[in-house]
Structure 1
Amino acid sequence: MGRQAVPGRLLPQRRPGGQRMSGLDPARVAVMVEAPVTGAGADAARLLRERGLSTLLLTHDPDGMPQYLRRQLAQQDVSVIQTSTLDVEAMRASVLQHLDGSPRAVLGMYEYYAAQAAELAREFGCPGPAPEAVAICRDKARQRDQLAGTELTVHYRRCHTADQAQSAAAELGTPVIVKPTNLTGSVLVRRCDTPHEAKEATEAILRQGEYLGIPVQNEVLVEEFIEGAEYSVELMHGRAVAVTSKTLAPGTVIEIAHTVPAGLATELQDYLSRVAEEACSVIGLRWGPAHVELRVQESGRAAVIEINARVAGDRIPELVRLATGVDLVDEHIGAALGEAARQGEPEAPVATIRFRQGPGGRLNRVSKLESARAIAGVREVHLRIAEGQEHRLNGSNQDRVAWAIATGDVEAAARTAATQALDTVELDWARMQGATP
């Protein structure tokens, strides 16, 4: 079983086998399967506490959580149990080792463990999404197969060898996108302009083995590249709540900014909402949150890039809350508890988040952080790593080291404030051997 934690402790402490956590009434406990690192997990723990519930976090590696996340969870008196979060039966046994009965709710907010969380919710008789639908969302190849025959998808090939990927790229016509089927955050996703590049990208995926403890499936997707603006639709119970515009770093698939609302004409926004709703319906995802990424071609046709059976990452739920008054995390919690959602009010017409990519190296010193937070319109400035920590680049969203959220009456004002905040923060780096400058 490993280590378990008492409520509110940053790091787990050992307990005798079978000893229950005192003072925790199962009817007032929500189980969370892993905590995403961009804030939704900590937000959920805070919102659960406001509703009078305790959070029991299941994680495979409590020591591996970022320092800021451990601090945020401790502030909400989260109890932490170390267990295998890829094994539903192990999680069930771990929960029942410490609770005298089934928990009130089970929440799956972390992409890599969403399918296991859905199965655990079913095991305990808790409300949740259909595990079969979530499993399809967790496998991008199965997603494509499910959407095949509709107008929602792109041309693609499933490949198990680098030679197959090279042939697929030649058949589809370059450029193509090569991606692993079960990773997220743009990890190992590459745009390939020649069949040979597709072969090399596939070789990199197939030799990866695992990522963050997740076994990388021995399969890749080779997809036609869709040129056009990128958006995401945030949904709850199969209905669109908001549309988010996205900005990618030039020449990459790394997202460096999001804005809510997307600033689209009503007709286009309604069209994107309908496409996302139809995609979720085809998959069978009708309960709880969903995050659907789309690209709009010059012809006006929207193609589904992927469907995620969870609230969005990258603090997008906070942007939605600020700009619309709808708290997607709280709505997810309310659904899991069988309680009504709590409607809020918009705090500003526009909310945006901007990310700062870092060099490879060790972060020696941070300065002017509070000055950045004091800029008018800025709501949040956050560093993903702390002084003394090492940062290694891997060509994915993990390369980003900081973010700033800002609001404004118009998108330009919010963007300017967030950009100014990131520019204000000073980060002093020391080169590491093998780090990319």
Structure 2
Amino acid sequence: MSTMIDADAARREGFVPLGASRKGSSFRGGRAAANDTAAEIGSLGKGHFLQEQIVKGPAASLPRRKSLDERNEAKDQALYYSLRDRIPSDLAMTPGAGGQALRRVMLHGATVVFVTPGYEGKRFVFERAKDLGVRSVVIDAPGSWAERMVGERVIAKFIPLDLNRDSTSVLNDCAAAIRALGREEGFSMPAGVCTFCELSVPLVARLAETLGLPGPSSAAVDTARDKHSTRAAMKAAGLPSPSCYRVNDETDLKQAASVVGFPAVLKPLNGAASLGVKKVDSEAELQRCYADVLAEMRATVVSSGALVKKDPTAPSDPNGEDPSFLLEEYLDGPEVDVDVVMGLGEARYAKVVDNGPTAEPYFAETWGVCPSLLPAEGQASLQKLAIDSLKCCGFDCGVFHVECKLTSRGPRLIEINARMGGGQVRKTHLLASGVDLVEETLFTAVGIPCNPHVSIENTAVAYTYVTNQKSGVVDGLASAAKRVAETDKSVAYCKPLVKDGAAIVGSDDALPDWLLDVMVTDSDAKRALDHVLSVATALDVPRFVR
């Protein structure tokens, strides 16, 4: 599926106030106010650190990575709550329900710092952390929704930090705030740092290394975040990879077209949700598409951790810097997600989730089903490629959302997301396998080796996004969704992604807005998929768009 930054929870796990129609646009999202603190995507010197991750990428925007000696020294000096030293790793890796219970005991009482909480739809992360006995500390911009969770006793502390600055300044201030936390009465030095937001992953990796805390290496994270670097690492490892060419500006387009050929896909080098990802079929179309998506990204801002459309009345920055892109060959075949949990250098859990055909040319998601309906041999080849790709980038621990295609020439990687997938991902694995990816992320953050216990079998999960052909204004959809959830016992949820009264865009005009997210369970995957699609059809969404 198209990459979604975890701040994409606006689109996948809660409401986003939708903007006016944007005919021909590949953007799906809200509109920022003219006085929003987020700066333009292209504004660097005074811009938001998350925007730097889109435009420059981690290697160019964050300080150099620590050497091995520097990292070891930081570990020796760190006075943190060391969970890894309590129990030998071979015992902590004990399989089964007993091993999972042991790892939860090890985690209980740990203080974990979360850098940027994402949208309010991510609240379940912090509720699960609380259930596991974790003392959560959240670092985010002043006024964040996460601050309310202190009074609600979901998190232990909220640390306000000005994020509307360059990445290095934010990194240094995060490190200072965490060290100060260790000296604060009632707190100890945190056991780990983590994030569930895609664009914050590189900063958190460097933060962990700076503080001597566990987690995936920043070198591996940088490689995964930069799609061109990912392809280079795969080529060096002898893994199959699509033909690609880096596009720094419009002068590179002709050579890129010559190298890659058509059809091809143009996408931002450092990823920015489905923003700027588009299929092109000719050099002339590439030229037009490049100009269109560049203008689109210039008109996009980061607001509350998510990508939203910039208010047209807000001032522009004439000195902004444009992002680089990647042109790569178009891949045929079915698309899948492979969600992977790694511990001690090996994959301990990997499951394939089928994706429905994306709505081209924007690669918009449609549906998903788990377990996969692909032949066992195809699933095994996809799992192997996903795991080999993670290893060649340098990962040895963590939770990953890996996007692939099973092409006519075999499995091919689309991209690696070095964090838990957004949207339905966590719920899908909880219902289909009993594996909690939030829990496994927390284990990784504090250095507990992961070895997930699969406690559920013979349960299938299917979900779909519901869109509309015509643009208009939504009216009455929420109550209809509620009736479906209450009357159909196989429906895990049927939740609206837009509020009544919201103006929405239909597929006739551009990339359509997602109106509903529906999930069902069954003992059979094909039946689950058929049922969720029938539920979506029976809702007759056009009745609720005027």
TM-score range, shorter chain: 0.7 to 0.9
Instruction: Tell whether 2:365 aligns with 1:255.
Output: yes
Instruction: Tell whether 2:115 aligns with 1:33.
Output: yes
CA distance in structure 2 between the partners assigned to 1:61 and 1:387 by the alignment: 29
Question: Which residue pairs with 2:302 in the alignment?
Answer: 212
Task: Find 2:334's aligned residue among 213, 229, 233.
Answer: 229
The structure-2 alpha-carbon separation of the partners of 1:197 and 1:166, relative to structure 1 and needing over 3 Å to count, comes to: farther
Q: Is the 8 A contact 1:180 1:205 kept in 2?
A: no
Instruction: Tell whether 2:261 aligns with 1:173.
Output: yes
CA distance in structure 2 between the partners assigned to 1:57 and 1:198 by the alignment: 42
Question: Which residue pairs with 2:489 in the alignment?
Answer: 376
Question: Which residue pairs with 2:41 in the alignment?
Answer: none
CA shift for structure 1 position 336: 2.1
Amino acid at match of 1:379: A
Question: Which residue pairs with 2:523 in the alignment?
Answer: 409
CA distance in structure 1 between the partners assigned to 2:457 and 2:143 by the alignment: 35
Higher deviation after alignment, 326-335 or 221-230? 326-335
Instruction: Tell whether 2:174 aligns with 1:91.
Output: yes
Question: Which residue pairs with 1:317 in the alignment?
Answer: 426
CA shift for structure 1 position 157: 0.5
Q: Is the 8 A contact 1:322 1:348 kept in 2?
A: no
Q: Is the 8 A contact 1:161 1:202 kept in 2?
A: no
Amino acid at match of 2:111: V
Amino acid at match of 1:88: L
1:285 counterpart SS class:
coil
Amino acid at match of 1:245: D
Deviation per residue, 1:263-320 (Å, 9 max, x gap): 2322222211111111011100111111111111223x11111111111122122212
Q: Is the 8 A contact 1:231 1:246 kept in 2?
A: yes
Give percent identity, aligned residues only. 20
The structure with higher relative contact order (CA 8 Å, sep 6+) is 2
Amino acid at match of 1:212: V
CA shift for structure 1 position 152: 2.5
CA distance in structure 2 between the partners assigned to 1:260 and 1:376 by the alignment: 19
CA distance in structure 1 between the partners assigned to 2:474 and 2:174 by the alignment: 36
The structure-2 alpha-carbon separation of the partners of 1:182 and 1:216, relative to structure 1 and needing over 3 Å to count, comes to: farther
Question: Which residue pairs with 1:351 in the alignment?
Answer: 461
CA shift for structure 1 position 424: 3.0
Q: Is the 8 A contact 1:205 1:220 kept in 2?
A: no
CA shift for structure 1 position 131: 1.2
Paired residues for 1:361-400 under 5 Å: 363-365=474-476, 366-374=478-486, 375-389=488-502, 399-400=513-514
CA distance in structure 2 between the partners assigned to 1:334 and 1:151 by the alignment: 30
The structure-2 alpha-carbon separation of the partners of 1:71 and 1:52, relative to structure 1 and needing over 3 Å to count, comes to: same
The structure-2 alpha-carbon separation of the partners of 1:323 and 1:295, relative to structure 1 and needing over 3 Å to count, comes to: same
Amino acid at match of 1:412: K
1:310 counterpart SS class:
coil
1:353 counterpart SS class:
strand
Question: Which residue pairs with 1:102 in the alignment?
Answer: 189
Higher deviation after alignment, 124-133 or 215-224? 215-224
CA distance in structure 1 between the partners assigned to 2:535 and 2:359 by the alignment: 21
Question: Which residue pairs with 2:539 in the alignment?
Answer: 424
The structure-2 alpha-carbon separation of the partners of 1:297 and 1:43, relative to structure 1 and needing over 3 Å to count, comes to: same
Q: Is the 8 A contact 1:327 1:344 kept in 2?
A: no
CA shift for structure 1 position 35: 3.0
CA shift for structure 1 position 192: 0.2
CA-based RMSD of the aligned residues comes to 3.3
For structure 2, the 5+ residue unaligned runs are 1-79, 82-108, 308-319
Q: Is the 8 A contact 1:111 1:184 kept in 2?
A: no
Amino acid at match of 1:378: V
Deviation per residue, 1:74-105 (Å, 9 max, x gap): 86623544424542112233445556253232
For structure 1, the 5+ residue unaligned runs are 1-24, 431-437
Amino acid at match of 1:370: K
In the superposition, the TM-score normalised over structure 2's length comes to 0.66
CA shift for structure 1 position 362: 5.1
The structure-2 alpha-carbon separation of the partners of 1:224 and 1:211, relative to structure 1 and needing over 3 Å to count, comes to: farther
Q: What is the total number of aligned residue pairs between the two structures?
A: 400
Task: Find 1:124's aligned residue among 208, 211, 215.
Answer: 211
Deviation per residue, 1:249-276 (Å, 9 max, x gap): 3323111112111123222222111111
1:89 counterpart SS class:
helix
Amino acid at match of 1:142: S
Q: Is the 8 A contact 2:147 2:158 kept in 1?
A: no
Higher deviation after alignment, 403-412 or 94-103? 94-103
Question: Which residue pairs with 1:17 in the alignment?
Answer: none
Question: Which residue pairs with 1:10 in the alignment?
Answer: none
CA shift for structure 1 position 373: 0.9
Amino acid at match of 1:195: E
CA shift for structure 1 position 129: 0.8
Amino acid at match of 1:407: T
Task: Find 2:388's aligned residue among 267, 272, 278.
Answer: 278
Question: Which residue pairs with 1:111 in the alignment?
Answer: 198
Question: Which residue pairs with 1:77 in the alignment?
Answer: 154
Q: Which has the higher strand share?
A: 1
Task: Find 1:186's aligned residue among 274, 281, 288.
Answer: 274
2:124 counterpart SS class:
helix
CA shift for structure 1 position 37: 4.4
CA distance in structure 2 between the partners assigned to 1:216 and 1:401 by the alignment: 34
1:146 counterpart SS class:
helix
